[in-house]
Amino acid sequence: MNTTRRRHLRCPMANFLYAIVGADSVKAGIRDISAGGAALILDLPLAAGDRISLVIDGIGLIPAEVVRCLEEGVAVKFLIDEARSRDVESALLEINGATAFSSSDG
C-alpha cells in the first residue's frame, strides 16, 4: 500500500510553459501541477537532480529540480519557500478554479 501523502493538492493543466535549462529555452506541456511541483511533458535529456527554471503564464519564474523521469517527460519539485508556494497555489486557483484540484495519490 502506498502511504505517501502529497503535501500540496494538484490539478491537471492544459497549458504550456517554457523550461530553461542552461542557455536553452524549450516549450513544454504541463500534465499536472501543484504548489510544490509538476509533471511535465518535455523532450529534453534530463536526469534526477538536474536543476531547471520554469516560466509559467500567470505564475512567473519558478526554479525546480527534476525528481524523476517519466515516459514522456519529467516530474519536478519547485525550489521555493512557503510564501512563494502560497502565491503559486493562489495563481493556480485563479487559472483553473478551485474545483480543479485533486488530492488523489495516483
Is the entire prediction scored with pTM above 0.85?
Answer: no
- 10-29 pLDDT per residue, tens: 554 557 899 999 899 999 99
Domain segments of the chain: what residues? 10-97
3-state secondary structure the chain: CCCCCCCCCEEECCCEEEEEECCEEEEEEEEEEECCEEEEECCCCCCCCCEEEEEECCCEEEEEEEEEEECCEEEEEECCCHHHHHHHHHHHHHHHCHHHCECCCC
- 52-105 pLDDT per residue, tens: 999 998 899 999 999 999 999 999 999 999 999 999 999 888 877 654 444 443
State residue 95's pLDDT score. 78
Task: Name the superfamily (CATH) of residues 10-97.
Answer: predicted glycosyltransferase like domains (2.40.10.220)
Q: Is the pLDDT of residue 4 over 60?
A: no
